[in-house]
Structure 1
Amino acid sequence: MSPVSSVPPADSAVALAHFSASLSFETDCADVHAALGSDDPRSVDFVLLDVRSAAHFSRGHVPGATNILHGKIVASRLAEYPPDTLFVTYCAGPHCNGATRAAIRLAKLGRPVKVMIGGVTGWLDEGFELAPAGEALSRSDCPRTKEP
């Protein structure tokens, strides 16, 4: 028996439930890139949060991201966003748990949230470019904060 098969796989129904549920918690770099690059403004129906330090953010971030350290995610910082705003968090990459910490804070505040798996590492691995600090979207540029 190989190390792969030494633990038997889950029943197909259990696997389907597990993998289907994972998409409720995660999105990937390609889906975020496609949404941000779409000509349809309705495609950007989320707020992208870079939860790394300001220094890391200024060296390069996903275009359109807003920088809020995961420890600074509090109700007063989110007050301008409608309660149903979907937040997508990311950090440096698979070796960093900042995006998960941010997702926990957002969930505790009752906010819809997903993690962009891969973070900056995944973004670059996909061949997508980072933007310098001056190219971040301000909150007022985000379609989710504008009046209908």
Structure 2
Amino acid sequence: MKPRILSLPCEASDAVQYFGRELAFEVDPVDLAQDLADGRTDGYVLVETRSPGAYAEAHLPGAICLPYREMTEESTRDLDRNLVYVCYCESIYCNAATQGAYRLARLGFTVKRLSGGITTWLAHGYPTEAG
């Protein structure tokens, strides 16, 4: 009897396609921290998708506060559609970043999601801002 984890075939070409698509929409905290440390901030905007209260407590450096529940044509009309919007939330147990990325994408924006959220960011010891 085959192990359960081998019950479905996994072809290398399928894996390349699957994981390539996943990586196209995810940002690693280590890569983001390095970009910020190197001053490479052109082309993207960090978006805190939780509440204004969560944003005030701690947010990633330079992030804007745009709670996913408030994302509409009206609330996003002044955003630059030539930029990539990197959404983040609390952690892997929160889907506010996914909700935000989905809503922004439906509004025609290019989006990515920060893996692990601010919890993973803090676990790596990276800086945050408050206020």
The two structures have a TM-score, normalised by structure 2, of 0.89
1:30-72 superposed Cα distances (whole Å, 9 cap, x missing partner) = 12212222235xx431010001111111111111111111011
| 2:35 aligned partner | 35
1:58 equivalent in alignment to 2:56 = yes
| 2:71 aligned partner | 73
**Partner of 2:74: helix, strand, or coil?**
helix
Equivalences, count: 130
For 1:119 and 1:92, how far apart are their aligned partners in 2? 5
| 1:16 aligned partner | 16
The letter for the 2-side match of 1:39 is G
Shift of 1:123: 0.3
CA contact (8 A) 1:27 1:115 kept: yes
- The correspondence of residues 1-148 of structure 1 with structure 2, limited to 5 A, is 1-3=2-4, 5-40=5-40, 43-133=41-131
The letter for the 2-side match of 1:15 is A
**Partner of 2:81: helix, strand, or coil?**
coil
Greater helix fraction, Structure 1 or Structure 2: 1
Q: Which runs of 5+ in 1 are unaligned?
A: 134-148
| 1:144 aligned partner | none
For 2:124 and 2:101, how far apart are their aligned partners in 1? 23
Shift of 1:78: 2.1
Distance 1:9 1:130, change over 3 A: farther
1:86-140 superposed Cα distances (whole Å, 9 cap, x missing partner) = 100000010000000001100110110001110011101222122112xxxxxxx
Flag as ranges the 4+ runs of structure 1 deviating above 6 A: none
CA contact (8 A) 1:36 1:44 kept: no
For 1:19 and 1:80, how far apart are their aligned partners in 2? 33
The letter for the 2-side match of 1:118 is G
